[in-house]
Structure 1
Amino acid sequence: MEEPDELPLPVPDVPGADATARGLPRRVDLTLRQRVIVDSSAVADLALRTSIASLLSVTMTPSVLGALRRSRSAAEQQQLEFYAELAAMKDPAVAFPAPESPPRVSSRPANPVAEWVARGNVRNIRFESSFTAVNPAMRKQCAGFVRNNVVHAQHWRHDDGPRPTLCLIHGFMGSAYLFNGLFFALPWFYRSGYDVVLYTLPFHGRRAEQYSPFSGHGYFAHGFSGFCEAMAQAVHDFRSVLDYLEYTGVDRIALTGMSLGGYTSALLASVDDRIQAVIPNVPVVTPDRTVDEWFPANRVVALRNWLSGADSELVDAATMYSSPLNYRPLPAKERRLIIAGLGDRLAPPQQAEMLWRHWDRCDFHWFPGNHVLHVSQPDYLRRMTRFLGPVMFD
């Protein structure tokens, strides 16, 4: 397979590199040009992080008010204990039960713009989610999310398919198919022989509940237990997509995702053995530690925990329920690749480095940009190409 020589979106091609045996480079290891890019992109990321953290603060306000009610605080304490107990088992089969039956998928042609971008056959698929909340106390609430309980994805499929399929999971708030298709150069992957699936996370895009102020609002609007169940549903519904792909004859599946999608893809790689290669891109692996740096959202979370009387050790234990650091990956070491941005301040590169250590120091590539401006993206796309080729086509 040839490597990409042009991208739909222009991005500076300033080389990054693979991590060494000791991990990501120190500042002194970088060239002057790389240091300038890392520093300037980090400043830009801090401004974006503050904006998103302010939005999340407003989103989490109802859960803070709920913490004032003694009955609600007691219920939240019980829910923390529930997820902490599940996490302590370290058994993904128990924590994330598999769908019991394949989905009944409906498919229709995507809009002409999508087909023009892909230069091929593009279908929008949907089906009813079979997800039942893992926590019995959350089942009634989760069942009431009408729009969220319809799963959406976009499938770029060759007429002579099925082909080896590259699946992509978007980041928080970033669910638009067109943006993700262009940003990740999916038309190039499609023309190189891959079928492509773009999966919509819970509460995003068409799955956002009516009157949601933004895509992804529901992920953080229902307290800690709501986030846990959103992650459980993200895993469950994606496994239903895998059931659909398997039914259509797909036998080679690779998975990548950015930010929240990187977090989800890393978790899925510990849950379903049909994922033969995985590439988390700028992933978060301990959301609680990341939010600790997100002012003013960190203050809102701290206030909520203080009002509810939540024990910090219990919160940490419960957070591990959906962390990929809590489970062993299923793809072989040589089928794991992690990508990190040194200037990233939304998903700091130390998060990716923690995953790298947990994943037995697998392949690890860095670029000098931030969370959104992936300086050297052509470089890491070439790295992805070399990584995926032997798994998907040989």
Structure 2
Amino acid sequence: MESELQAPWWEHLPEDFWRQADGTELDAGNRLKVHGTAAIERVLRTSLSSTVATAMSVALYKGGNAGHEFEALRFYEPLARAGDATRVFLQPPKGIAIETSPATGCSVGLRGIQRFQLRFASPFKPLNPAAQAQFENMQNNLLAHAQHWCHGDRPRPTLIVIHGFAADAPFLNAQALSLASLYRQGYDILLFTYPHHGPRAERGDLFSGVGLFGRGLLSFTESPLHAIHDLRVFIDYLQERGVEHIGVTGISLGGYTASLLATVDERLSFCIPIVPAVSPIDLFLEWWPTSVLLPRLMRSQGVNVAQMRGLTAVHNPLTYKPCIDGKRVLIIGGAGDRFSLPRHLRLLQRHWPDSQLHWFPGSHLIHLGRGEYLLRMRAFMDQWCEALH
């Protein structure tokens, strides 16, 4: 019994978790919305899965890299099993110089908002020595970027926004989350650029974000660690400017990363993951054609589902004890989501006792009921920040 209690989450999770039936309390009363958006999303999911499968296949099978990659992944499993975030997410150095310049790009709907582009040379070093050579060959990805919407009159509560895969454009996230409205209601906003996206994409990348999967499993595993490192530098920057209340939100990959940040950095006032991925291996087993590629790859390396989860668990929010109280966490999910199915969000909610879970009658990409969850999100932010003046 004692050994069972000490077993990590990936060994407790049923082997067939990715196959289990799913649903939410919204399904019966919103059948058309939930099942309609789910049907559309299954088609769109195949497109994304094909992109991931193609990028990963090229990286893994070029020059027989698969065996080498899996051997390198074994470095992370003992660290994940130990569950000590301080051994994985090392504190970034203090006093990093951050360049500031006026932000450019699409400004539709952003009239009157002071926007600045922030950039610094990231001192992040891969945790796994096997990743060092590949990391040193990158150029653009070594520069951290964020867009800062700052009133400039005094330190204000600040919302950090982390985008989803291939959805790094600030105006997309501004529209999705009505960020201009939050700004005009008194919040500052910091839109973080995830590694391998936007200006961090390397020359020759076919599109923003492809480098996340297109450089193999080792790079895929180090990227969330890199993201957390750079986010903590930006939190340092905000605190040096006198900001006391800092919260984080993100959509999809951004929601996953926001959840991870809340298990690493206790300085957050709140965390609002939106349609977050929670167990990436199970997602890939649910999607086609990654549902074909991944099992074939695991069989070739003699790895089962639980072991595969463990090899990549070093960057999973379920692996570590949360740094902030569950009352400060609001999870938002789509009842018809077929990218991150509802059972994934329930895993995250169970990881944070007392956290809240809000369902909307839409999907991962089609956010029906968005207005309702944005109102709840705003009220939740106000609850954990001092009154705005």
Q: TM-score, normalised by structure 2?
A: 0.90
Contact 2:160 2:247 (8 Å CA) reproduced: yes
What residue in structure 1 maps to residue 24 of structure 2?
A: 25
Q: How does 1:71-110 map to 2 (within 5 A)?
A: 72-110=65-103
Quote the offset at 1:307 in angstroms. 3.2
CA–CA separation in structure 1 for the residues paired with 2:203 and 2:131: 20
Q: Which residue of 1 aligns with 2:352?
A: 359
Report the Cα distance in structure 2 between the residues aligned to 1:112 and 1:65, rounded to whole angstroms: 38
Deviation digits for residues 251-295 of structure 1 (CA, Å, limit 9, x no counterpart): 110100000000000000000111110000000110000110110
Partner secondary structure for residue 77 of structure 2: helix
Q: Which residue identity does 2:333 align to in structure 1?
A: A
SS in 2 for 1:123: strand
Q: 1:64 deviation in Å?
A: 3.5
Report if aligned partners of 1:63, 1:304 keep a CA contact under 8 Å in 2. no
CA-CA distance at 1:232 after TM superposition = 0.7
Secondary structure at 1:365's aligned position in 2? Answer: strand
Q: Which runs of no fewer than 5 residues in structure 2 stay unpaired?
A: 1-21
* Aligned partner (choices 43, 52, 58) of residue 39 of structure 2: 43
Partner of 1:18: none
Task: Between 311-320 and 199-208, report the one with greater CA deviation.
Answer: 311-320
Q: Output the amino acid matched with 2:259.
A: A
SS at match of 1:196: strand
Post-superposition offset of 1:235: 0.7
SS in 2 for 1:82: coil
TM-superposed deviation, 1:390:
2.1
Task: Work out whether residues 24 and 366 of structure 1, in 8 Å CA contact, stay in contact via their aligned partners in 2.
Answer: no
In the other structure, the counterpart of 1:373 is: 366
Q: Residue in 2 aligned with 1:158?
A: 151
C-alpha distance 313-379 of structure 1, shift in aligned 2 (>3 A): closer
| Residues 366 and 312 (structure 1), Cα distance of their counterparts in 2 relative to 1, 3 Å cut | closer
Write the mapping of 1:205-224 to structure 2, written as runs, cut at 5 A: 205-224=198-217
Partner of 1:9 in structure 2? none
Secondary structure of the 2:288 match is coil
* Aligned counterparts, 1:192-231, within 5 A: 192-231=185-224
1:118 is displaced (CA, Å) by 5.1
Go from structure 1 to structure 2 and tell me whether the alpha carbon gap of 1:387 and 1:118 turns closer, same or farther (over 3 Å shift).
Answer: farther
Instruction: Determine if the alignment matches structure 1 residue 58 to structure 2 residue 54.
Output: yes
SS in 1 for 2:331: strand
User: Number of aligned pairs?
Assistant: 366
Aligned partner of 2:247 in structure 1 is: 254
1:285 to 273, 278, 281: 278
User: Aligned letter for 2:82?
Assistant: M
Letter in 2 for 1:25: T
Q: SS at the partner of 2:141?
A: coil
Q: 1:102 to 1:348 in 2, by over 3 A?
A: farther
Asked if residue 393 in structure 1 is aligned to residue 386 in structure 2, the reply is yes
In structure 2, the CA distance between the partners of 1:64 and 1:306, relative to structure 1 (3 Å rule), is farther
Deviations 1:122-171 (A, max 9, x none): 10111111110000111121122100011110000003122100110000
Separation in structure 1 between the aligned mates of residue 354 and residue 40 of structure 2, nearest angstrom:
30
Distance in 2, matches of 1:243 and 1:268, equals: 14
1:324 partnered with 2:324: no
Q: Contact 2:162–2:194 (CA<8 Å) still a contact in 1?
A: yes
Change (3 A) 1:102 1:301: farther
Secondary structure in 2 aligned to 1:292? helix
Could you tell me how far 1:81 is from its partner in structure 2?
A: 1.6
Q: Within 2, Cα distance between the matches of 1:383 and 1:143?
A: 43
What's the C-alpha RMSD, in Å, of the aligned pairs? 1.8
Distance 1:347 1:122, change over 3 A: same
SS at the partner of 2:75? helix
Q: Which of 170, 181, 184 is equivalent to 1:188? A: 181
SS at structure 1 position matched to 2:181: helix
Q: Which sits farther off after the overlay, 318-327 or 55-64?
A: 55-64
SS of the aligned residue for 1:114 comes to coil
CA distance in 2, matches of 1:102, 1:184: 32
Cα shift at 1:99:
0.4
Alpha-carbon spacing, 1:118–1:257, altered in 2? closer, same or farther (3 Å) = farther
**More deviation, 292-301/110-119:** 110-119
After alignment, is 301-310 or 160-169 more displaced?
301-310
Whether the 8 Å CA contact 1:165–1:253 is kept in 2: the answer is yes
Q: Which structure 1 segments of 5+ residues have no match?
A: 1-22
Instruction: Please list, as runs of the form range in 1=range in 2, the aligned pairs for 1:233-252 lying within 5 A after superposition.
Output: 233-252=226-245
Post-superposition shift, 1:301? 2.2
Query: 1:57–1:296: 8 Å Cα contact kept in structure 2?
Result: yes
Mapped partners of 1:118, 1:46: distance in 2: 37
Q: Deviations over 1:168-204 (max 9, x none)?
A: 0000010001111111100000001000000000000
Give 1:306's match in structure 2, choosing from 299, 313, 317: 299
Instruction: Give the match's secondary structure for 1:340.
Output: strand
Match of 2:145, SS state, is: strand
For CA contacts below 8 A with separation 6 or more, give which structure has more relative contact order: 1
